[in-house]
Amino acid sequence: MTNKQIAQQFKSLAQLMELHEENSYKIRSYSSAYRIFRAATEPVYEMNLTQVKQLKGIGDAIGNKVQELRLNGEMKIMKGYLEKTPKGIVELLKIKGLGIGKIKTLWLQMGIQSPGELLYACNENRLITVKGFGTKTQSNIKQQLEYYFLSIDKFHYARLEEEAENIILDIQEVLDTELISLTGDIRRLMPVLTSIEILLGSNDVKKLEEEDILTIEEEKNGIWKCKTIENDFPVIIYSCNPDYWGYQLLRTTGNETFLKDFFEVFYPEKIDWKKNPTPESLKGISEEELFEKADLPFIPAEIRDVHKILYKIKARSVPQLLEETDIKGVLHAHTTWSDGATSLEELATYVKSLGYEYLGLTDHSQAAFYANGLKADRVLEQFKEVDKLNEKLAPFKILKGIESDILHNGSLDYPEEILKQFDFIIASVHAHLRMDKHTATQRLITAIKNPYTTILGHPTGRLLLSRQGYPIDHEAVIDACAKHNVIIELNANPHRLDLDYTWIPYALEKGVKITINPDAHSLAGVHDIHFGVLAARKGMLTAAECPNTLSLEDFEALLAKKKEAVSA
């Protein structure tokens, strides 16, 4: 189990105990354990009882429960609560906007015991007269439920990536073949997936079940629907004749629009690609050679779903897409000064050890009281620590930034005398998220117009598979960034990936730069840059259009130019 998974066990336990009105002290204790385990930098699952208890705030009771998880994969106390709680009520705990109090009312007073029953009740307007709900609350709950049902059986790319890589290695070892590749959505690096798709140049799929690699559920026309043994993740294997490997790799990678244009417009030979034929003319031809035959440069899989990509590439060369190694500075990171899990020195030292040239420190501003946001006096205290560390860590440098809340009227947190002291400012919305399109757009544009805004953070506030972003007029927001020389963040947290990759081409067209920012709240969070780069590649971002690929000297020059414009 990862630290996040262990932490989630204690969060769920606290929720269930609160639902059943158990001892409030124990509930607070388990909630605290959730935060402690999420913030832990070493793998808790590998610790013995003594080591777990060395974590500040962890005692015998919680330490023993961690050992239960290690030995049995579950906690006896959790099992007991799950047995006396309807399964649908446990599902309701996952719905945004539903607190424990509301769930208790729905369950005990209205007899609602599942998300489906609750959605039906919303459609029947049964919540509007219930104390604590009302018309607006019912509408918000209905919206969240609809999004929840759309998100069922879907996964963040980050959740399946490592599992997919391991499956590929296992299959290679068992079948002794190199004719294996990820394909479909996962090969195109889609942020949200429904399965791990694999192309295999072999029909010997049953051997994978015999060797406990996968469980086979169904086979039809060479398409095998499987599940992973440990996590029950869905896997689809397309088995094919090795002689037609190149064609099948192109075909299964997709997407449909790309394949239609490729074979019906650009390819010299008529191929009925929908019916999966194996024409003799394609025998032994590699995927790269198929592009050559169509008089096209090879197009990376991740950009094959860009709108009209074949026509765009025909008119110009394939761009040199951003690589993870191009990133020279880590922007957007939180420390224990606000809601991060590590000290500033620990974070900066770690970032330096990874080979980066600079760290853009951006703890939360004072309006984010829930995240221990920095009041003005603490900002100045933090500056002093930054100065000392910069002397110690040179030539590596910590840049003095802040993630300033965009207030409800679009203004930035802090008065001007504080704002002007930062090296750069990421402006983000964190509160008052329920806005219509016009209000949300104008709020962002007001913040963009502020001369101290350097970067617009996670523009829609979305959480993939969990919370829809507030609606915005993307073109108007991007146009405003172009006019006021504001960079847009692609928040690299795999639960956000916001700005969405589909809007990167428009931003680049307007001359707006895109930074890849991990929004790190721990040492591990720094590595989310990986997922941001993958998403950026789908939007055809290059290193030249990503400011934190600049050296420290050049990035500071870029910031200085922005500040000069403010004082001009």
Rounded Cα distance, 337 and 383, in Å: 11
Residue finishing a domain among 239, 258, 274: 239
Residue 310 lies in a domain: no
Rounded Cα distance, 167 and 154, in Å: 19
| Coil/strand/helix, residue 127 | coil
Residue finishing a domain among 53, 85, 117: 85
57 and 121 in one domain? no
Q: Is there a contact between 387 and 345 (Cβ–Cβ < 8 Å)?
A: no
Is 457 exposed, middle or buried, given 0-12, 13-18 or 19+ CB atoms closer than 10 A? Answer: buried
554 and 483 in one domain? yes
Please report, in tens digits, the pLDDT of each residue of the chain (568 residues total). 788 889 999 999 999 999 999 989 999 999 999 989 988 878 898 899 999 999 989 999 999 999 999 888 889 999 999 999 999 999 999 887 788 999 999 998 888 888 988 988 888 788 887 888 888 888 889 888 888 888 889 999 999 999 999 999 999 999 999 999 999 999 999 999 999 999 999 999 999 999 999 999 999 999 999 999 988 999 999 999 999 999 999 999 999 999 999 999 999 988 888 876 677 889 999 999 999 999 999 999 999 999 999 999 988 889 999 999 999 999 999 999 998 889 999 999 999 999 999 999 999 999 998 788 999 999 999 999 999 999 999 999 999 999 999 999 999 999 999 999 999 999 999 988 889 999 999 999 999 999 999 999 999 999 898 788 999 999 999 999 999 999 999 999 999 999 999 999 999 999 999 999 999 988 999 999 999 999 999 999 999 999 999 999 999 999 999 988 887 6
Residue 141 lies in a domain: yes
Model pLDDT, residue 274: 84
171 and 61 in one domain? no
141 and 172 in one domain? no
Model pLDDT, residue 103: 93
pTM of the model: 0.84
Residue finishing a domain among 60, 85, 110: 85
Residue 407 lies in a domain: yes
Model pLDDT, residue 111: 87
377 and 392 in one domain? yes
Residue 315 lies in a domain: no
Each residue of 13-49: pLDDT tens digit?
Answer: 999 999 999 989 999 999 999 989 988 878 898 899 9
468 and 371 in one domain? yes
Residue 281 lies in a domain: no
Residue 183 lies in domain: 156-239
CATH assignment at residue 160: 3.30.460.10
Number of domains in the chain: 4
Q: Look up tokens 């446990």; give the residue.
A: 90
Residue 347 lies in a domain: yes
Could you tell me where the DSSP H helices lie in 40-114? 49-53, 60-72, 76-83, 87-92, 100-104
531 and 413 in one domain? yes
Q: Look up tokens 């899990």; give the residue.
A: 341
536 and 400 in one domain? yes
113 and 162 in one domain? no
CATH assignment at residue 528: 3.20.20.140
Residue 317 lies in a domain: no
Model pLDDT, residue 276: 65
231 and 133 in one domain? no
CATH assignment at residue 29: 1.10.150.110
Where on the phi/psi map is residue 57: left (φ > 0), alpha (ψ -120 to 50), or beta? Answer: left
Model pLDDT, residue 40: 83
Residues 6+ apart with CB under 8 A from 365: 373, 374, 402, 403, 404, 405, 412, 413, 414
Helix axes 60-72, 24-39, angle to 10 degrees: 60
Model pLDDT, residue 277: 62
Residue 292 lies in a domain: no
Each residue of 213-263: pLDDT tens digit?
Answer: 999 999 999 999 999 998 899 999 999 999 999 999 999 999 999 999 999
Model pLDDT, residue 456: 98
134 and 219 in one domain? no
118 and 15 in one domain? no
